[in-house]
């Protein structure tokens, strides 16, 4: 009995120590709706109230703990881009934090081009340290220098690490 309890305790510690993989809130779920609503609210504060009624086509949505990454663009009801060729033709890249039951945008990395060297320094300096690396996309992870996993440059063909790495 004592051995069984010790084993259960040890397995519990191992499981608690293991880093959970990020999840993608399912379409129609309360979390997915709340994240999209937070992005709409953020955009409405910047661009005007009409943004609160816009739809998104979500390219990536990852959540880990109380943090989420949103990547998407304005879309029509059929999912096609609604802003192609206009000033709204932009892919939004935002990091959010859950506070109680409410999501809030804490870092907006949306842009129409690759950040300049100066912008990159600014982003690295101001990027919230508490955001889990697991939700940061490879492009931003490389730019931020956050590498718990191999970088894209270190990966071999088909995303496999070269056999000589670490020898």
Please count the helices (runs of H) and the strands (runs of E) in the chain: 4, 4
The rounded distance, in Å, linking the Cα atoms of 84 and 32 is 24
The answer to whether residues 140 and 74 touch, using CB atoms and an 8 Å cutoff, is: no
The rounded distance, in Å, linking the Cα atoms of 94 and 72 is 9
Residue 104 in any domain: the answer is yes
Residue 105 in any domain: the answer is yes
In the chain, % of residues over pLDDT 90: 41
Q: Residue 26: its pLDDT value, please?
A: 95
Domains contained in the chain, number: 1
Q: pLDDT higher for 1 or 101?
A: 101
Lowest mean pLDDT among 9-13, 76-80, 83-87: 9-13
pLDDT at 70 over 90: yes
Q: Residue 112: its pLDDT value, please?
A: 78
Residue 127 in any domain: the answer is no
Residue 41 in any domain: the answer is yes
Q: pLDDT higher for 158 or 93?
A: 93
Instruction: Give whole-number Cα distances, 113 to 45, 58, 85, 124, in Å.
Output: 23, 19, 15, 17
Instruction: Give whole-number Cα distances, 148 to 90, 107, 142, in Å.
Output: 29, 21, 11
Which tokens is 109 given?
């990395």
Q: Residue 12: its pLDDT value, please?
A: 45
Residue 39 in any domain: the answer is yes
Residue 14 in any domain: the answer is no
Residue 131 in any domain: the answer is no
Over residues 98-141, the pLDDT tens digits come to: 999 999 999 999 987 888 899 988 999 999 999 999 999 998 99
The rounded distance, in Å, linking the Cα atoms of 163 and 167 is 8
Region 20-36: mean pLDDT is 92
Region 33-44: mean pLDDT is 93
Q: Which domain holds residue 30?
A: 21-113
Which tokens is 37 given?
């609503």
Region 90-104: mean pLDDT is 95
The torsion angles phi and psi of 55, rounded to 5 degrees, stand at: -100, 155
Beta pairing class for 92-99 and 67-75: antiparallel
Neighbours of 16 (CB within 10 A): 7
CATH number of the domain that 41 lies in? 3.10.450.630
pLDDT at 154 over 90: no
Per-residue pLDDT band at 52 (split at 50, 70, 90): low
Element (H, E) at 68: strand 67-75
The rounded distance, in Å, linking the Cα atoms of 89 and 72 is 11
Residue 59 in any domain: the answer is yes
């Amino acid at each position: 009995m004592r051995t069984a309890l010790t084993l259960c305790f040890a397995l519990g510690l191992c499981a608690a120590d293991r880093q959970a993989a990020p999840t993608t809130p399912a379409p129609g779920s309360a979390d997915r709706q709340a994240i999209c609503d937070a992005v709409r609210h953020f955009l409405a504060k910047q661009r005007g109230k009409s943004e609160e009624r816009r739809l998104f086509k979500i390219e990536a949505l990852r959540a880990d703990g109380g943090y989420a990454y949103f990547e998407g663009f304005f879309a029509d009801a059929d999912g096609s881009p609604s802003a192609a060729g206009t000033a709204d033709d932009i892919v939004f890249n935002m990091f959010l934090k859950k506070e109680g039951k409410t999501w809030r945008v804490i870092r907006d990395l949306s842009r129409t081009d690759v950040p300049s060297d100066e912008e990159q320094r600014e982003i690295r300096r101001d990027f919230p340290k508490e955001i889990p690396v697991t939700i940061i996309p490879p492009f931003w992870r490389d730019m931020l220098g956050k590498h718990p996993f191999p970088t894209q440059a270190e990966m071999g063909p088909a995303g496999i690490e070269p056999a000589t790495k670490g020898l």
